[in-house]
Amino acid sequence: MENCFHCGDVCNETNIVFHNKNFCCHGCKTVYEILKDNDLTYYYDLEHSPGTTPSRFDSKFDFLKEPHIASKLLEFDERGIQIINLVIPSIHCSSCIWVLEHLSKIHNGVLNSQVNFPEKTVRIQFKAKELSLFALVELLTRLGYEPYISLADEKKTPKRTDRSLIYKIGVAGFAFGNIMFLSFPEYFEVNEFWLDRFKFLFRWLMFAFSLPVVFYSGWSYFSSAIKGLRSKHINIDVPIALGISVLFIRSTIEIALDLGTGFFDSLSGLIFFLLLGKFFQQKTYAYLSFERDYKSYFPIAVTKLIQSSTQFNTQNNNKKELREQQTEIKDLIQGDRILIRNGELIPVDAILISGNAFIDYSFVTGEAQPVSRASGDKVYAGGRQQGEHIELEVIKTVEQSYLTQLWSGDVFNKGNQTNFQTLTNKISKHFTIVILSIAMISVMFWWWFDASKALNVFTAVLIVACPCAIALAAPFTLGNMLRFFGKAKLYLKNAETIEKMAQLDTLVFDKTGTLTSSLESKISYCGVDLSIEEQDLLTNTLRSSNHPLSRTLYQWLQKHEIYTLDDFNEEIGKGIVGKKNGQHIYAGSYQYVNNNHQSSVYSPEKNTTQVHIATANTYKGYYNFINTYRSGLQETFKALEKFKIIVLSGDNSSEQESLSKLLPKHTQYYFDQKPEDKLSFIKALQDEGKNVMMIGDGLNDAGALAQSNVGIAISENTNVFTPACDGILDAKQFTLLPDFLRLSKRANHIISYAFLLSLFYNIIGLGFAISGNLKPVVAAILMPISSISIVVFTTLFTYWVTRKLSQNNQNNNK
Amino acid sequence: MSIIYLLLTISVIVAIIFFAAFIFSVKKGQYDDTYTPSVRMLFEDEIKSEKSTKQQLTNNN
């Protein structure tokens, strides 16, 4: 079997040999030809078979022809030069970068193009006169780089990334280095003539450098501490802010009164390390978004049908027939007629006027199989039409449609878990109280013993107690964990999610797309065996049909002789018939197949999907489509037995029996759950005091994902749309779920151990402080040592506990 | 020894120049995408030259 030179797929029956190279389809060959003609075959030298099979360029992007819609997507449009930033999910290797950055060799209209690989975007600058946006998108699609354009792209404001943390680290690092350098001479403490002369200059320079560190870089600690105190929480920033202010004030007084050098180096070092910890904790996945709403799922425009009589546009008034016009979906109003083609999404609630609707709602409602609708029926927004094109009459605008209404709910507008307390904050409460009492006791002691030292000791205690090491323990542990999880393809939104995962006791699963795999379905045949000729005829008939069930069944049957049919007919939404050498074969719904002959032997089972087969005069049997559950489901759930497990499905209860065989006995099942039911179900669990994780995939789970303590979206392909959530899990890694949950618990243990270690440093420091011996040089040594050892400790420990995860991950990828 | 004033001034100015360069580069978005440039720099500038070097390599072998 040959592999395609372009995309690397196995070339099945259609092996096209061109230029001594094999291609799996004409699409791949065309891309090769384009690249060859433009001298761009270096594409294939960079990486082995780097391409993607181009999808058919149909009317999907017609809306780009409308200047007013196109202009909303453009970033820049002046003097004939336009710039657009397009998301291209299929960017995956260096060849992709290369070819997309050499677009100007294919078309002269392209002036410049630049790929941002982590974000999977390409920024293209082109001459509007020579190349329209529509033509540009067409060119990209033909090369296999189809851009993803959705409603969310509209009114694009250039994305503003928050870089303040980097600036803060820059300022702190810059000042830290300079202050270290200036404070060194005095640490050697030679009572030398020149040093005595210059030390004032050095000290005031250090003071000057520390000002931006305290008042710019460290400011967030003050504001966060004040915020915490106002809401009567002692968070970790309270002792930090206390430490910073004591360090700064005491140092300033020391140099002003010529008492000593001050602690400016420790001060700036402390803030620098703390900010580094914060930075490390942020692991961002540029091309994933955890905040998506329906807007990134919906298209930007649909085809609207305008009748000449009701036409607002007076220019074409003389036309009598229906005219197609691309309209933005937000402009649709009640009563508008729209046209939905095969594979297009229904953007609004509407009534079916004409055509056979066969709508795939699996992503929206969780129903596993597409449903058919007859004219006059109501269809809901979010479904994907399969088969022929249909005409709809809008009954609700986008914002008012059933599905989009969900997003106006409270869950999506506020962070509903603001009261979550991290482990660090829990500990810091006790820590702060203990430190303050130690400081008080030592002050009282020294007051009585040697009053001149009392204030000195008090401030020294607060300085050494500044919980730098504690504050670094969590960021580095969780930051490391986030990276390990990311390698195993669980992409979490932030570090806090790991701490939340450690507290879970209830797991709620969606069925369709989560427990079942949407990529494969199991097919079984029931009825009279088909002869070889009949099988051949059936596969060839199926081959001619574009219906999803036909495609699936064809894939499953395969391995048959390919020939041209004498006759083929498809009644959309009903069935197909093929003819060869006088033989007929019918495939389709029970009614369709049975209309042709009377024998009705099989009464169709409910709740499953079937394709019925008959020849010209006899009914043969049917193919049953059953959802397949993910492999390893049973073992995975066995490992999760400690948790309360609930299955919450939008589908009907037909699968309960087969599910209960796979899942633990105590599992609870709830079927026919609407999206809002799911949300309120999670809420009810939380009111009982449960910590709930929701694992789902579709828009119907969006509310539940947002409401739950941890919402994980499962995705077969992380490039495509996932609803708003706390984390995205690659579907292949589903079996690692118990590992992830176990490791989050371990992360909490590691943080606790790190706390103990840092307490040890604090006790040493307190020894110096209480005895009144804390010199700047001691603080300057102790502080970095404790911080660095905590970083090393947590890094090694997390690496050690995640060994097994990396192993399992490798096994999964084999 | 008053040369130290001059030395200090110069060292601080140099440090500030580098610091300003860092801030400027962050602001310009040079750190936004740290991956793509690392791949891009390995591409051959001219496709023709890439071909000829490749041929040379195969000839040498």
| Cβ separation A178–B12 shorter than 8 A | yes
Residues above pLDDT 90, as percent of chain A: 3
Reported residue count of chain A is: 814
pLDDT for A625 beyond 80: no
If asked whether residues A636 and A730 sit together in one domain, one would say yes
Please give the structure tokens belonging to residue A85: 């930033």
Kindly report which listed range (A132-146, A189-203, A285-299, A619-633) carries the lowest average pLDDT score: A285-299
| Cβ separation A174–B43 shorter than 8 A | no
From A575, A596, A628, give the residue that closes a domain: A628
The residue with tokens 């692991």 is A283
Maximal C-alpha separation, chain A: 116
Which of the residues A75, A116, A121, A168 would you substitute to probe the B interface, choosing the one with the greatest number of B C-beta atoms within 10 Å?
Answer: A116
Label residues A265-298 b or e (16+ Cβ within 10 Å = b): bbbbbbbbbbbbbbebbebebebbbbebbbbbbb
Domain ranges of chain B: 3-60
| Cβ separation B40–A198 shorter than 8 A | no
Query: A255-300: per-residue pLDDT in tens?
Result: 888 888 888 888 898 899 889 888 888 776 666 666 666 677 777 7
Maximum average pLDDT range among A57-66, A357-366, A703-712, B17-26: B17-26
If asked whether residues A330 and A401 sit together in one domain, one would say yes
| Cβ separation A42–B44 shorter than 8 A | yes
Which of chain B's residues have a Cβ under 8 Å away from the Cβ of A201? 5, 8
Please give the structure tokens belonging to residue B28: 């310009």
> Where residue A315 sits, what CATH number does that domain have?
2.70.150.10
If asked whether residues A470 and A545 sit together in one domain, one would say no
Higher-confidence position of A805 and A139: A139
If asked whether residues A140 and A181 sit together in one domain, one would say no
| Cβ separation B47–A42 shorter than 8 A | yes
Q: Which of B1, B15, B22 sits opposite A194 (nearest CB)?
A: B1
Which of chain B's residues have a Cβ under 8 Å away from the Cβ of A205? 8, 12
Query: A305-355: per-residue pLDDT in tens?
Result: 876 554 444 444 444 466 777 777 777 878 888 888 777 778 888 888 877
Which of chain B's residues have a Cβ under 8 Å away from the Cβ of A194? 1
A114 to chain B, minimum CA–CA distance in Å?
Answer: 9
Please give the structure tokens belonging to residue A144: 């296999």
Q: Does some domain include residue A47?
A: yes
Kindly report which listed range (A330-334, A407-411, A449-453) carries the lowest average pLDDT score: A407-411
Q: Does some domain include residue A639?
A: yes
pLDDT for A356 beyond 80: no
Which residues, in sequence order, are CB contacts of A307 under 8 Å at separation 6+? A322, A323, A337
If asked whether residues A641 and A509 sit together in one domain, one would say yes
If asked whether residues A267 and A132 sit together in one domain, one would say no
Q: Does some domain include residue A524?
A: yes
* C-alpha separations of A748 from A25, A88, A557, A723, A738 in Å: 52, 38, 51, 28, 16
Average pLDDT for A386-409? 75
pLDDT for A116 beyond 70: yes
| Cβ separation A98–B22 shorter than 8 A | no
Tally DSSP H helices, then E strands, for chain A: 27, 28
* C-alpha separations of A461 from A187, A207, A470, A766, A788 in Å: 21, 22, 16, 6, 21
pLDDT for A543 beyond 80: no
Higher-confidence position of A545 and A613: A613
Which residues, in sequence order, are CB contacts of A786 under 8 Å at separation 6+? A468, A469, A758, A761
Which of chain B's residues have a Cβ under 8 Å away from the Cβ of A177? 15
If asked whether residues A637 and A493 sit together in one domain, one would say yes
Higher-confidence position of A83 and A773: A83
| Cβ separation A97–B39 shorter than 8 A | yes
CA gap A711, B13 in Å, rounded: 51
CA gap A112, A81 in Å, rounded: 11
CA gap A519, A523 in Å, rounded: 13
Label residues B22-46 b or e (16+ Cβ within 10 Å = b): bbeebeeeeeebeebeebeeeeeee
If asked whether residues A268 and A299 sit together in one domain, one would say no
* Averaged pLDDT score across all residues of chain A: 78
Element (H, E) at A81: strand A81-87
Query: A196-240: per-residue pLDDT in tens?
Result: 777 788 888 889 999 999 999 889 889 988 988 888 777 888 888
- CA-wise closest residue to A744 among A503, A567, A401, A534: A503
Residues above pLDDT 70, as percent of chain A: 84
| Cβ separation B36–A117 shorter than 8 A | yes
pLDDT band at B21 (very low <50, low <70, confident <90, very high): very high
Q: Does some domain include residue A156?
A: no
> Interface pTM (ipTM) of the complex?
0.76
The DSSP call for residue A731 is G
Q: Which of B22, B23, B39 sits opposite A94 (nearest CB)?
A: B39
| Cβ separation B50–A170 shorter than 8 A | no
B43 to chain A, minimum CA–CA distance in Å?
Answer: 7
CB pairs under 8 A between A and B: 55
Q: Does some domain include residue A58?
A: no
From A371, A392, A411, give the residue that closes a domain: A411
What is the sign of the dihedral through the CA atoms of A611, A615, A616 and A618?
Answer: negative
Higher-confidence position of A389 and B15: B15
Q: Does some domain include residue A646?
A: yes
If asked whether residues A486 and A460 sit together in one domain, one would say no
- The one-letter code for the residue type at A636 is T
DSSP A744-780: HHHHHHHHHHHHHHHHHHHHHHHHHHHTT---HHHHH
CA dihedral A58, A60, A65, A66 (to 10 degrees): 150
Residue A57 sits at φ, ψ, to 5 deg, of -85, 100
If asked whether residues A169 and A275 sit together in one domain, one would say yes
If asked whether residues A138 and A68 sit together in one domain, one would say yes
CA gap A261, A263 in Å, rounded: 7
From A370, A394, A411, give the residue that closes a domain: A411
Q: Which of A46, A94, A161 sits opposite B32 (nearest CB)?
A: A161
Please give the structure tokens belonging to residue A389: 């094109």
3-state secondary structure A156-183: CCCCCCCCHHHHHHHHHHHHHHHHHHHH
| Cβ separation A201–B8 shorter than 8 A | yes
Please give the structure tokens belonging to residue A806: 């990396």
Element (H, E) at A657: helix A656-662
First-to-last C-alpha distance (Å) of chain B = 66
The DSSP call for residue A132 is -
Domain that includes residue A573, residue range:
518-628
| Cβ separation B26–A163 shorter than 8 A | yes
CA gap A32, A21 in Å, rounded: 10
Task: Quote the strand ranges of A307-436, DSSP E.
Answer: 323-328, 337-340, 350-354, 357-360, 371-373, 378-379, 384-385, 390-394
- The one-letter code for the residue type at A50 is P
Which of chain B's residues have a Cβ under 8 Å away from the Cβ of A91? none
pLDDT on residue B51: 44
Which residues, in sequence order, are CB contacts of A229 under 8 Å at separation 6+? A238
Query: A680-699: per-residue pLDDT in tens?
Result: 888 888 888 888 888 887 77
pLDDT on residue A602: 53
Which of the residues B2, B38, B40 would you substitute to probe the A interface, choosing the one with the greatest number of A C-beta atoms within 10 Å?
Answer: B40
- The one-letter code for the residue type at A28 is C
pLDDT on residue A207: 92
Please give the structure tokens belonging to residue A76: 């820049």
Q: According to DSSP H, which parts of chain B are helical? A: 3-27, 36-40, 47-60
Which of chain A's residues have a Cβ under 8 Å away from the Cβ of B22? 170, 174
pLDDT on residue A185: 78
Query: A578-612: per-residue pLDDT in tens?
Result: 887 777 888 877 777 776 555 555 555 545 667 78
CA A737 to chain centre: 17
Neighbour count for residue A156 (Cβ, 10 Å): 13
Searching chain A, which residue's CA lies closest to the CA of residue B28? A163
Which residues, in sequence order, are CB contacts of A518 under 8 Å at separation 6+? A362, A512, A697, A716
- The one-letter code for the residue type at A82 is Q
pLDDT band at A572 (very low <50, low <70, confident <90, very high): low
A185 neighbors A195 (Cβ within 8 angstroms): yes
Which of chain B's residues have a Cβ under 8 Å away from the Cβ of A118? 33, 35-36
| Cβ separation B47–A174 shorter than 8 A | no
If asked whether residues A510 and A530 sit together in one domain, one would say no
pLDDT on residue A315: 47
Residue A121 sits at φ, ψ, to 5 deg, of -125, 160
Taking any CB pair shorter than 8 Å as contact, residues of chain A touching chain B are 39-40, 42, 45-46, 94, 97-98, 101, 114-119, 161, 163, 166-167, 170-171, 174, 177-178, 194, 197-198, 201, 205
Q: Does some domain include residue A570?
A: yes
The residue with tokens 């003050």 is A222
How many domains would you assign to chain A?
6
Searching chain B, which residue's CA lies closest to the CA of residue A182? B8
What is the sign of the dihedral through the CA atoms of A600, A602, A607 and A610?
Answer: negative
pLDDT on residue A211: 92
pLDDT for B42 beyond 80: no
What is the sign of the dihedral through the CA atoms of A798, A803, A807 and A808?
Answer: negative
A22 neighbors A16 (Cβ within 8 angstroms): yes
Neighbour count for residue A52 (Cβ, 10 Å): 22
Kindly report which listed range (A72-76, A155-159, A646-650) carries the lowest average pLDDT score: A155-159
Q: Does some domain include residue A666?
A: yes
A499 neighbors A744 (Cβ within 8 angstroms): yes
3-state helix, strand, coil in chain A (%, to 5): 50, 20, 35
Please give the structure tokens belonging to residue A236: 């970790």
pLDDT on residue A212: 92
Which of the residues B12, B27, B47 would you substitute to probe the A interface, choosing the one with the greatest number of A C-beta atoms within 10 Å?
Answer: B47
